[in-house]
């Protein structure tokens, strides 16, 4: 088995924009580039659905996903800080008696 070929965001957008501008069809573009029809079709589908946020790249998240990830991390940090404060309060309350 060969390694999977990766295409950058600019390349995918260029192919999709040609298709959306009716300069080429999905089938023509796929054949011209040596790609499978469904690969190009999916690029068009993702671009129509996500627009400028399509094709975020490896390791990158779309903006809404990035915000959710950031908020979840913030929540986890705050929960951890809260647990530490509870333990400290219990420790000092025990020593006051």
What local confidence, expressed as pLDDT, does residue 8 receive? 84
Compute the radius of gyration of the chain from its Cα atoms.
Answer: 24
Largest CA distance in the chain: 82
With 90 as the cut, is the pLDDT of residue 82 above it? yes
* Cβ burial, residue 13 (10 Å; 0-12/13-18/19+): middle
Q: What does the DSSP 8-state code read for residue 23?
A: S
pTM higher than 0.75: no
What whole-number percentage of the chain has pLDDT above 70?
A: 87
Q: pLDDT tens across 42-62, in order?
A: 999 988 988 777 777 665 556
Domain parsing of the chain, residue ranges: 7-59, 61-97
77: tokens are 């940090």
Second-level CATH architecture of 7-59 = Orthogonal Bundle (1.10)
The mean of the pLDDT values for the chain is: 85
What whole-number percentage of the chain has pLDDT above 90?
A: 45
What local confidence, expressed as pLDDT, does residue 55 receive? 74
């Amino acid at each position: 088995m060969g390694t999977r070929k990766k295409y950058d965001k600019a390349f995918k957008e260029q192919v999709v924009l040609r298709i959306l501008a009716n300069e080429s069809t999905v089938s023509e573009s796929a054949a011209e580039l040596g790609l499978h029809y469904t690969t190009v079709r999916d690029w068009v589908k993702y671009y129509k659905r996500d627009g400028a946020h399509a094709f975020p790249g490896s390791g990158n998240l779309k903006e809404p996903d990035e915000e959710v990830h950031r908020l979840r991390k913030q929540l986890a940090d705050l929960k951890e800080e809260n647990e530490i404060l509870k333990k400290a309060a219990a420790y000092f309350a025990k020593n006051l008696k």
